[in-house]
Amino acid sequence: MTEYVGFWKRVVATLIDSVLIMVITLPPLLAIYGMAYLENGETFQGPADIIFSYLLPMVLVILFWAKKQATPGKMAVSAKIVDAKTGGKPSTKQCVGRYFAYFLSFIPFGLGFLWVAFDPKKQSWHDKLAGTVVVKIKQ
């Protein structure tokens, strides 16, 4: 029987991934921009900011989903992403679509993420749009 991963485990996974991304991206950004990077309130502070804050995390997340079916955070909570119809590995197209659908989940007050708590298959809006579900890894 398929066991879907719920809201709180997914929150923990996201927190783990967020810390790891910060550990990877913050040192080069501080090396390039100095402490002013943290003090400046601008959205974009230059080309390196776009690369390290936006492009690198996007590439890493999509690669982890496509190759491992999980980010390190999801691995830590014994979860993986699968195709909702087959239960198999999601396609690269699904992984890319899932990433960009995150923005749609976030826009209306994060409602797309909160949806996990109420959905029978624990799908967020980005899961529904990409045709994926997050399931518990059988140990």
pLDDT the model gives residue 51: 95
Burial of residue 8 (CB within 10 Å: 0-12, 13-18, 19+) is exposed
pLDDT the model gives residue 108: 87
Average pLDDT over every residue of 51-75: 97
pLDDT the model gives residue 44: 79
Tell me, yes or no, whether 101 lies in a domain.
Answer: yes
Tell me, yes or no, whether 46 lies in a domain.
Answer: yes
Tell me, yes or no, whether 60 lies in a domain.
Answer: yes
Determine the structural domain holding residue 16 and report its residue range: 7-136
**φ, ψ (nearest 5 deg) of residue 134:** -110, 120
Query: What whole-number percentage of the chain has pLDDT above 90?
Result: 86
Length of the chain: 139
Average pLDDT over every residue of 42-49: 84
Tell me, yes or no, whether 35 lies in a domain.
Answer: yes
Tell me, yes or no, whether 2 lies in a domain.
Answer: no
Tell me, yes or no, whether 73 lies in a domain.
Answer: yes
Whole-number average pLDDT of the chain:
94
Tell me, yes or no, whether 74 lies in a domain.
Answer: yes
Average pLDDT over every residue of 46-71: 96
For residues 72 and 22, is the Cβ–Cβ distance under 8 A? Answer: no
pLDDT the model gives residue 138: 84
Tell me, yes or no, whether 120 lies in a domain.
Answer: yes
Nearest to 99 by CA among 129, 44, 62: 62
pLDDT the model gives residue 11: 97
97-121 per-position pLDDT tens digit: 999 999 999 998 999 999 999 999 9
Buried b (16+ CB within 10 A) or exposed e, 33-52: beeebeeeeeeebeeebeeb
**What CA–CA distances, in Å, run from 39 to 18, 62, 75, 138?**
20, 30, 33, 45
Total domains present in the chain: 1
pLDDT the model gives residue 91: 97
| Cα–Cα dist 36/29, whole Å | 10
Average pLDDT over every residue of 78-82: 98
pLDDT the model gives residue 36: 84
**What CA–CA distances, in Å, run from 22 to 29, 66, 76?**
10, 21, 17
